[in-house]
């Protein structure tokens, strides 16, 4: 069966629906129905206003676990491939999901099993963990992406989701994952939500508890034609409630709520999510899953822009181990999953989507209706009313672009349309799931895009720009005159090489004309194809970094993320230590060939290393000391030495470790000793940089220099 013509747009609608559901439910997560009813009555909008919505486990899992399809080495996906993705992208016992302890938190339990060498699916089995742990809700809340990459193919969704869910769950925990993934896959081709539910049930055992719960809710709905959703919830509460199932958050009561919402929502996106949320229990999980199903089923046109979309503004913050991956937007996630969907179907990407799902997957292309790519507006000078909206009235490429307009601008007042390329603690009003960041844009790189003033606008000046927050300096590219009704104009800026710089926003800048208007200047501008690229050329100087304390259990050193270990800024150095294996990462996983220099002091212990081509906690190269040996190692789900040499280096002495990576060749040097290795077996051809200590060792790092190679 050929993929639907509007497949990429429907993936975006589903993924956006997931984000809406998560945010709608986050503020009342764990609340009982009665508490929500008493406080809100009818809760028909987001119950909390966030500065930016921080990370959530419900969005972490789908986007990171699906990367197993790209990272796998075998022709067919296995449960262990998904287990490797969990180990690779999740930090050790912080961020990502709930770390409630072994035998309490299902995902925590499975993660520790995997780290100890217990393979999937044994890692999530009831034999290993007990049935209570195995049947908690996580089997379905992380599963959406497997349905989104299987449009109209529930058999494929069932096979993939069964493997994915089995890494952490068993029994009804797996059945729930299969059901949700199949429902999403079916929503691409079915028109009625009841048919989606009925057909998804065919992929799980008819006699399992999950099927019985779903059938019971459907039966109540059919046999009580005059009942309202609150009557149905009372039935669910009394017959399928939390008191009947053990554990912190069992899957069965929550699946009953999801079915209730979908049948009483009558196919309406908003009403379905509202009902699901007002039922209480695990609100962000339930409403998130329902949001995906209904987003795909109803399409982007059914999702209210003012009510649901604008407060989110396409932002998707995550809390994986790679800091630059934690800053993303909803369109890039949808594009990534759509690309995988075409690959799994063995179908060529349609011409209009080739670039977007390929080289431009992280660009701001605005091809999805109502998308903004998390772009923002700010102005220098008097306050004014500014607004951005996705439009199909024109485009530089494709069919859509972003329109932004502002009123009451004063002569020469500056307006910025930008994307945040780094986030600070102050950018969030909460610390959900402990996010940490590395920038997505660096000194040495380029920013480019296109601007145009429509016929009904007024001519003005425009350019591309970036902001270096370390020096509080705005760097402008060459300005161009944007003639009213003129053609699209390219604007660009190259960021100069920097010692200790940090780029935290980039985008477009325009100036109001010099002529004074009685009511201020009215600006209308079209923007398209914002792109970041080019080779990095910068230094990360730890004397310029700071520690951000989010709360008593969450603190981060700016620009770096950690897998595990203790890090502290002191005396111009970053001091790192760990009792077994500590690792820290910075930079971008997309970097390819580069030269890197690490200025490091061996403090105590035998093992201090630097990392290159880092793609996560299980994929990188390590270069450094093991006692009096200097070595190159590869982390391929576990470290092994590629080559080494004798190299005594005194503790307390600052040394410079230099590493060059070009294609599959690695060259490393320290204290006059040089190692070279050509990796012929599944080499890592891109990745970030990092630091590591092992076996009770510690080190101090002064700075890291990185320069890209053409």
Reply yes or no on whether the pLDDT at 233 is more than 90. Answer: yes
Reply yes or no on whether the pLDDT at 1 is more than 80. Answer: no
Place of tokens 């200047």: 521
Place of tokens 């502002």: 406
Provide the pLDDT for residue 651: 87
Q: Provide Rg for the chain, Cα atoms.
A: 26
Instruction: Read off the pLDDT of each residue in 522-550 and give the average, rounded to a whole number.
Output: 96
- 298-353 residue pLDDT tens: 999 999 999 999 999 999 999 999 999 999 999 999 999 999 999 999 999 999 99
Reply yes or no on whether the pLDDT at 384 is more than 80. Answer: no
- 167-190 residue pLDDT tens: 999 999 999 999 999 999 999 999
DSSP 500-527: S--EEEEEEEEE--SS--TT-EEEEEEE
Contact between residue 7 and residue 14 where contact means Cβ atoms under 8 Å apart:
no
* Range scoring the smallest mean pLDDT among 308-312, 384-388, 425-429, 483-487: 384-388
Provide the pLDDT for residue 192: 96
Give the rounded percent of residues in the chain with a pLDDT score beyond 70.
98
Reply yes or no on whether the pLDDT at 383 is more than 70. Answer: no
Q: Comparing C-alpha atoms, which of 651, 616, 612, 654 is closest to residue 633?
A: 612
Q: What confidence tier does 513 reach under pLDDT thresholds 50, 70, 90?
A: confident
Contact between residue 119 and residue 83 where contact means Cβ atoms under 8 Å apart:
yes
- The span from the CA of 151 to the CA of 371, in Å, is 21
- The span from the CA of 220 to the CA of 197, in Å, is 15
Alpha-carbon distances of 135 from 114, 175, 237, rounded to whole Å: 18, 9, 19
- The span from the CA of 199 to the CA of 555, in Å, is 47
Average model confidence (pLDDT) across the chain: 95
Provide the pLDDT for residue 46: 97
Angle at 656 between CA 443 and CA 88, to 5 degrees: 65
Could you give the 3-state DSSP secondary structure of residue 602? Answer: strand
Residue 358, preceding bond cis, omega within 30 degrees? no
Distance of CA 381 to the CA centre of its chain: 34
- 190-205 residue pLDDT tens: 999 999 999 999 999 9
Residue extent(s) of CATH 2.60.120.260 domains in the chain: 376-533
Reply yes or no on whether the pLDDT at 710 is more than 90. Answer: no
Fold of 539-708: Jelly Rolls (2.60.120)
Q: Which residues pair with 676 in a beta bridge?
A: 667
CATH ID of 7-48+58-317, from 1.10.3720.10, 1.20.810.10, 1.10.4080.10, 3.90.1150.10: 1.10.4080.10
CATH superfamily of domain region 376-533: Galactose-binding domain-like (2.60.120.260)
Provide the pLDDT for residue 457: 86
Contact between residue 160 and residue 184 where contact means Cβ atoms under 8 Å apart:
no
- The span from the CA of 692 to the CA of 686, in Å, is 19
Q: What confidence tier does 515 reach under pLDDT thresholds 50, 70, 90?
A: low
Give the rounded percent of residues in the chain with a pLDDT score beyond 90.
91
Q: What confidence tier does 410 reach under pLDDT thresholds 50, 70, 90?
A: confident
Reply yes or no on whether the pLDDT at 521 is more than 80. Answer: no
Q: What confidence tier does 239 reach under pLDDT thresholds 50, 70, 90?
A: very high
Instruction: Read off the pLDDT of each residue in 393-418 and give the average, rounded to a whole number.
Output: 89
Residue extent(s) of CATH 2.60.120.560 domains in the chain: 539-708
Q: Which residues of 77-103 are buried (b: 16+ CB within 10 A; e: fewer)?
A: bbbbbbbbbbbbbbbbebbbbbbeeee
Does the reported pTM lie above 0.85? yes
Reply yes or no on whether the pLDDT at 64 is more than 80. Answer: yes
- Give the β-pairing of 698-708 and 460-468: unpaired
Q: Which two tokens stand for residue 539?
A: 């230094």
Q: Which two tokens stand for residue 673?
A: 């000793």
Q: Which two tokens stand for residue 328?
A: 């993303």
Instruction: Read off the pLDDT of each residue in 106-115 and give the average, rounded to a whole number.
Output: 98
Q: Which residues pair with 631 in a beta bridge?
A: 624, 644
Reply yes or no on whether the pLDDT at 394 is more than 90. Answer: yes
Q: Which two tokens stand for residue 554?
A: 């969450």
A 10 A CB-CB count for 316 gives 26
């Amino acid at each position: 069966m050929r993929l639907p013509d509007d497949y990429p747009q429907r993936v975006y609608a589903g993924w956006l629906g997931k984000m809406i559901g998560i945010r709608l439910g986050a503020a009342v997560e764990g609340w009982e129905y009665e508490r929500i009813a008493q406080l809100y009555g009818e809760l028909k909008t987001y119950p909390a206003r966030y500065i930016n919505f921080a990370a959530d486990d419900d969005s972490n899992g789908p986007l990171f676990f699906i990367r197993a399809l790209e990272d796998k080495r075998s022709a067919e996906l296995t449960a262990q491939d998904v287990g490797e993705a969990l180990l690779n992208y999740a930090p050790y016992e912080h961020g990502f999901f709930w770390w409630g302890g072994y035998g309490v938190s299902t995902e925590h339990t499975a993660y520790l099993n995997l780290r100890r060498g217990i393979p999937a699916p044994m890692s999530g089995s009831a034999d290993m963990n007990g049935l209570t742990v195995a049947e908690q809700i996580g089997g379905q809340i992380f599963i959406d992406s497997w349905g989104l990459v299987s449009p109209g193919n529930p058999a494929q969704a069932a096979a993939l989701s069964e493997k994915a869910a089995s890494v952490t769950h068993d029994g009804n925990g797996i059945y729930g994952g299969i059901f949700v993934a199949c429902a999403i896959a079916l929503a691409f081709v079915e028109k009625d939500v009841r048919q989606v539910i009925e057909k998804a049930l065919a992929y799980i055992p008819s006699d399992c508890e999950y099927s019985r719960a779903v059938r019971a809710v459907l039966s109540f709905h059919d046999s009580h034609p005059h009942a309202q959703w609150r009557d149905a919830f009372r039935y669910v509460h009394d017959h399928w409630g939390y008191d009947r199932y053990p554990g912190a958050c069992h899957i069965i009561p929550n699946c009953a709520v999801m079915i209730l919402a979908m049948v009483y929502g009558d196919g309406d996106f908003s009403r379905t999510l509202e009902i699901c949320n007002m039922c209480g229990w695990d609100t962000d999980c339930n409403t998130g899953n329902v949001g995906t199903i209904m987003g795909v089923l109803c399409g982007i046109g059914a999702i209210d822009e003012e009510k649901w979309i604008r407060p989110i503004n396409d932002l998707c913050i995550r809390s994986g181990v790679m800091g630059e991956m934690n800053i993303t937007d909803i369109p890039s996630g949808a594009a990534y999953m759509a690309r995988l969907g075409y690959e799994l179907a063995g179908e060529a990407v349609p011409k209009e989507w080739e670039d977007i799902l390929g080289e431009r997957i992280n660009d701001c292309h605005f091809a999805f209706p109502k998308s903004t790519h998390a772009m923002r507006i700010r102005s220098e000078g008097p306050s004014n009313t500014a607004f951005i909206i996705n439009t199909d009235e024109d485009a530089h490429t494709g069919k859509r672009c972003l329109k932004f307009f502002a009123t009451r601008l004063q002569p020469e007042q500056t307006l910025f349309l930008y994307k945040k390329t780094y986030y600070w603690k102050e950018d969030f009003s909460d610390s959900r799931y402990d996010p940490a960041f590395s920038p997505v844009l660096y000194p040495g790189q380029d920013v480019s895009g296109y601007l145009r003033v429509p016929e009904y606008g007024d001519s003005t000046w425009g350019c591309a720009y970036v902001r270096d927050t370390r020096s509080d300096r705005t760097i402008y590219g060459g300005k161009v005159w944007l003639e009213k009704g003129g053609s699209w104009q390219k604007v660009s800026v190259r960021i100069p090489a920097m010692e200790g710089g940090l780029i935290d926003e980039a985008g477009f800048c325009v100036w109001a004309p010099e002529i004074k208007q009685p009511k201020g200047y009215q600006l209308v501008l079209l923007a398209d194809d914002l792109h970041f690229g080019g080779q990095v050329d910068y230094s990360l100087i730890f004397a310029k970094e700071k520690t951000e304390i989010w709360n008593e259990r969450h603190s981060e050193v700016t620009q770096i993320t950690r897998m595990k270990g203790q890090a502290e800024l002191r005396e111009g150095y970053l001091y790192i230590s760990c009792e077994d294996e500590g690792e820290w990462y910075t930079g971008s996983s997309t970097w390819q060939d580069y030269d890197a220099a690490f200025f490091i002091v061996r403090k105590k212990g035998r093992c201090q290393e630097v990392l290159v081509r880092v793609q996560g906690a299980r994929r990188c190269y390590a270069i450094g000391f093991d006692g009096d040996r200097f070595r190159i190692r590869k982390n391929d789900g576990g470290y092994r030495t590629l080559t080494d040499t004798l190299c005594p280096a005194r503790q307390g002495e600052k040394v410079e470790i230099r590493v060059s990576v070009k294609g599959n060749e690695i060259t490393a040097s320290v204290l006059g000793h040089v190692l070279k290795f050509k990796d012929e077996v599944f080499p890592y051809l891109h990745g970030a940089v990092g630091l590591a200590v092992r076996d009770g060792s510690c080190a101090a790092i002064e700075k890291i220099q990185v320069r890209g190679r053409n």
